[in-house]
Structure 1
Amino acid sequence: MLYPVLAFLALSLAGATPTDFQLLFNPGPSFKCLTFRESSPQLGTSFPYTDDSQCDMVSGFTVANAPTFNYNWIQGTLNPSDGPVGGGGGPPITITLLNDAQNVGQCGTLQEVQVGYDFPGSAIRKMEPSDVQYDLSLYDQWIVSYDVFVHVPTLPDVEAQGCQGFNRKYLETDFIHYWTPCSGCAPVKNVISIIHYNPIHTNAALGPFQEDGGYRIQINGPPSLVPGQMTHVALDFKAILQRYSTELCHNGGIPTLPNLYSLQIVSSNVNTSSTIDISNVSLILRNNPDPGTAYPVPDYPAGTTPNYCSA
């Protein structure tokens, strides 16, 4: 799920000494200071829901700048307090992504729901007192982690029910960043999409491509999720960007002044339905990495410059 290109370029703070820290406000989420958008695929309805009951427990935070969780309920009205959000104050709080693209009455309808920490706003921290984004290139690692549980499906996928052709059931981590390709150029949005759950393997749109005025690479990567098993996802997106920087038109290296625009955990379905629990979302900017901790990098052929990259 992507957003329009921002009309500004955030600046780094000159002379800043980076330290390891949590980049997300309300990681987890740990407290009920969050927003939803609930929708019904059948009825074509959608409405927002907010819970600000614990915003005062997150320093400097309000629900207006809270993380956003989108989901589709399958039938009837689902109360967010006992549906997509489980747990009380303090961790763990679980967000349940309900995604039904199987019973919408049309083959080929794409439905995406997500846990999203986005910028602008305060879901992603900004530098104090300069109020600008952090320069990610100053840090050795960009560690994204969370826990995920894919519920065992109650229905077979629609391919076996008469919807032949394009089918999809993904759970992916999207790391969306901005960079500036040249002095005086407008910022460009790039997306790294790592697919952890892809049981159908039909028409998988893998590899690099242009999208929304920028560039994207979408690849299968570790860990692979198994329904009915809790799995911990932990990835170093700086290492992933370094490996696939050529495909993302970064000329083989980390771009100048990369800024995080959004961290999204996305359920993306065509002709299928899924229920997926997400908890303990974190994004740590780290220096002096622990040499005993290894983070896997997806195995996909790297090093080819696409023909759409600027010279």
Structure 2
Amino acid sequence: MERTTSLATGTPVRKKSFLKRWDSPIAGYLFISPWLIGFLALTAYPMLLSLYYSFTNYTLMKPIEWIGMENYNRIFTTDEKFAQSIKITFYYVLASVPLKLIAALLVAMLLNRAVRGISIYRTAIYFPSLIGASIAVSLLWKNIFGVDGFFNKVLGIFGIPGTGWVTNPDTALWSLIVLSVWQFGSSMVIFLAGLKQIPTDLYEASAVDGAGKLRQFFKITLPMLSPTLYFNLIMGVINSFQVFTPAYVITGGGPMNSTYVYALYLYERAFSRYQLGYSSSLAWIMLLLIVAAAVAINLTSKYWVFYESESQGGKRK
């Protein structure tokens, strides 16, 4: 409050300062209104609309018809492609996520050194993650692992006969997995930030006690890095469940449906067959699968995620 004097009576009068006028919660809502409006219009409303459509027979060709749980009943009882796409997606997630985390952690440890020009190396290694799993990268990958691609030409130098990696049912999915592992830059940067938070005193003390590099890795690096590993694991699982562009561009779900991932099946139902109600049901099942996977990881995290506050007598929340 600012204290002023009335000209008429000469008595002190309290006057609200400019900042005090914004004490109302309304001011906060005004500041976040651009984000709030965008969230309600572009996220919350489409999600609720999709939930409604999942209980309807919506095909764009006729009026919307409420059918209750019939879409879900068909998915779990008669839809063979659903089960196939789930199986392929789980295989992709279980293979790509651990390999990607291992590659990201190893490279992060190599880059966590005081070497001349290390920033250039970090930028160069992170660069593939900037372009992501785009259409251009997918087309490039398709050419590299084609019958006459670069990878087979390299194998030919050593007298090893190559195959059409993206056209062979036994190797097509692994081509997509390798592409996912190649894009480890984001996880690597997060691991690198976590490594820099580990006190060097721990390594020095363990070295005095005779601990080697391998023992230091499993007894110091991994426990101290476990919260970062937990975050990268959650994000990796969420992103892997939603893989679409590489499968759509590189293989189109083939050969012989060997790369027919869940998101590709959802896309086909929605935009090839125009079964928007059915595809909405598939989308909500995907959401539940991702939530279930995240909850399972969270429940097991108490056994392997170490927080520094716990070592000081604090309780994990």
**Shorter-chain TM band:** under 0.3
Give the structure with higher Rg (CA). Answer: 2
Query: TM-score by structure 2 length?
Result: 0.24
Query: 1 or 2, which has the higher strand percentage?
Result: 1
Query: TM-score by structure 1 length?
Result: 0.24
Query: 1 or 2, which has the higher helix percentage?
Result: 2
